Amino acid sequence: MRPSGILYVVATPIGNLQDITLRALDILKTVDAIAAEDTRHTSGLLNHFGISKKLIAVHEHNEHQSAEKLLALLNSGESIALVTDAGTPGISDPGAVVVDVLRRAGVKVVPVPGASAVIAALSASGITQNGFLFHGFLPASGAARRKQLEALKTQTVTLVFYEAPHRILECVADLTQVLGAERRITFAREVTKTFETFYTCPLAEAEAWLKADTNQQRGEFVLLVEAPALKVADAIPEDAVRTLKLLLADLPLKQAVKLATDITQLKKNDLYEFALQLKDESKHDE
C-alpha cells in the first residue's frame, strides 16, 4: 500500500520501454489511480508491464479541471501517479499546472525521475560548453519563431529545443538566419528509438544534410545549438587588458606578452592572440 494523499510525478520511457525505472514500476503498481495525458497510450505501457489501474485523463486542455478532481481524490486518501505519453511530466508536456494547483493546496508531491529527452540528448552530444537553456518547442509561426530566437540570440550557453518533423526544415532555416550560419547544431533524432540519430554540423550545412536524406526529417527532434565561440577579448579580465596595453606601449610584442603572462597568470596563447588584435587595431587607427 502507498501512503495516502500523495501525488507521484512519474517519468516514463521516451521510446525504449526498458528505460522505465524499477521505482516507477513499483509506484505504478501500487497507487490507487494514474493520471495520464492519453489514457490509450498509457494503457499500452501498463499492459506491457502487466499493470491494471484506474486511469484519469489529464491533458493540456483540461489541466485546471482535472487538478480539482485529483485534489478531491487525494483528499479522500487515494495516492495518484501522474504520467505523460513519454518522458517527464511538466517538461514541455502537461503536468506543471496540476502540480502547481495541488502543491498550493498542500498536497505532497513526490518526483520519480527517469527518462528525459533533453538530458539524454545533452549527455550524448559531446558538447563541452558549460550550461544550457532548455526552451522546449519554438512557436509554429515563422514570424513568432524568429522573434523568439532574436530574444535568445545573446545567450552564452547551449540552446536546446524540441521540434516536430513537419516543421524541422523551416525551423532550421530560421535558426540559421537568426543565430548565424557558423553556430554548430547537434540533431538528436528519435532518441532511444530504433532509428536514433546524432549528427553535428555548422548551421550553414544543416538544411542540406536534412534534404540529402528525407528519412532524417522524420521522428521527434531535440536540437542543440551551441553558443557562439567566445572571443579572446571576452575571456580576458579588464585589469589584464590594461596591463597588456601598458606593456605594449613600451615593449616589443613577445616581451610584453611574456611579462603580462607572468603578472596575470593567464594563458600565454590567449594574451598573445589578444595582443595581435590590439596591434592590428592600432595600425587601422593610424
Residue appearing with cell numbers 572571443: 231
What pLDDT sits at residue 277? 75
Boundaries of every domain in the chain: 6-115, 118-225, 232-285
Query: Of the CATH numbers 3.40.1010.10, 3.90.320.10, 3.30.470.20, 3.40.640.10, which one belongs to the domain with range 6-115?
Result: 3.40.1010.10
Q: Are 36 and 76 in contact (CB under 8 A)?
A: no
- Statement: 118-225 belongs to CATH 3.40.50.740: no
**What pTM was computed for the model?**
0.80
Grid cell listed for 243? 596591463
Segment-wise mean pLDDT, segments of 10 residues, the chain, 286 residues: 87 97 98 97 97 95 93 96 96 94 96 97 91 96 97 94 97 97 96 97 97 96 89 72 88 91 87 78 56
C-alpha cell at 278: 590590439
CA-CA distance, 163 to 100, in Å (whole number)? 26
Per-residue model confidence (pLDDT) at position 124: 97
Q: Answer whether 124's CB lies under 8 Å from 85's CB.
A: no
